[in-house]
Amino acid sequence: MQSVMPSTRLCANTWLSNPEKAIPGQLIIICTWLGASPKHVGKYTDLYRSIAPHARILLIESDVSILVSSYARQRRRIRPVVDIVLETLAETETSSDDNAPRILLHTFSNGGTNTATQLLIILREVASKPLPLIGLVLDSTPAKGTYWKSYNAMVFSLPPASRFVGSMVVHCLLVLLYTWIACGNENPASLMRRTLLDKDTVGPAPQRPDPEARGYIYYMYSKEDRLTDWMDVWEHAGKAREEGWKVKEVVFKGTGHCAHMPFDPMRYTECVEQAWGAISKPESKL
């Protein structure tokens, strides 16, 4: 029977799980969608515990409050996560490529991708080099973030009892956001989409068999998703290919937003296993 990893709360909405026999340099970072419930998130942490029993797992939960906070506040809040990543990199600084860092980033929706973006940006500033990843797993993301798509995602993350009042608050927040964008600032969704492919923020792990490959990205999405337009994800995957990434698109049929694993757990598990094991041959659709 699989033992449960003890979890330590690093800060608000952030948890670190440590296996009994952790392998230095192994880390899985999971950035959840807005308002994800613990019972749903637990299915993904359990999946990674079975696939990578000796890796530490960083779980970063997302909520509406942090999504509409200033970038400075978001980055202050995520600083404990940055420290864990830096510790992981330091564990293998003097090792050979066989013991190089093994870090995987798994994000859900634009809520989780926003968190991942802030993490990647501050890591670049602190470490002055891109984060070496064995892979990126993108579930129902990245969307372009139109007004109404953002509105629906934020309201959907609220408890049903508070959605009526919450919807008015969300409208006010989005009006402020789009006013800020109209003043010449970059749309946060555009920043996310750009950062995921940026050579300065994400780099390939040194143990990759193909030294010329920038990295591996696994896109999991559905044409029936009402919150993330599948064309946004498809377009981003095409851009990734153009920039030298190894890409795998996993298109589910009939599944909703961030609901692909419950619908087809075997297929989802296969993709995650490939991402962690680096055994896949991208450019195909499972």
Domain membership flag for residue 57? yes
The lowest-confidence range among 31-40, 100-109, 164-173, 209-218 is: 164-173
Alpha helices, DSSP H, located in the chain = 38-51, 64-67, 71-77, 79-90, 109-127, 147-156, 163-182, 188-196, 230-242, 260-263, 265-277
CB 75 within 8 A of CB 191: no
Parent domain of 105? 7-144+189-277
Domain membership flag for residue 106? yes
How many domains would you assign to the chain? 1
Residue 55 confidence (pLDDT): 95
Quote the CA–CA distance of 260 and 149 in Å, as a whole number. 19
What's the CATH number where 24 sits? 3.40.50.1820
Domain membership flag for residue 282? no
Domain membership flag for residue 176? no
pLDDT tens digits along 218-277: 999 999 998 899 999 999 999 999 999 999 999 999 999 999 999 999 999 999 999 998
pTM, rounded to two decimals: 0.84
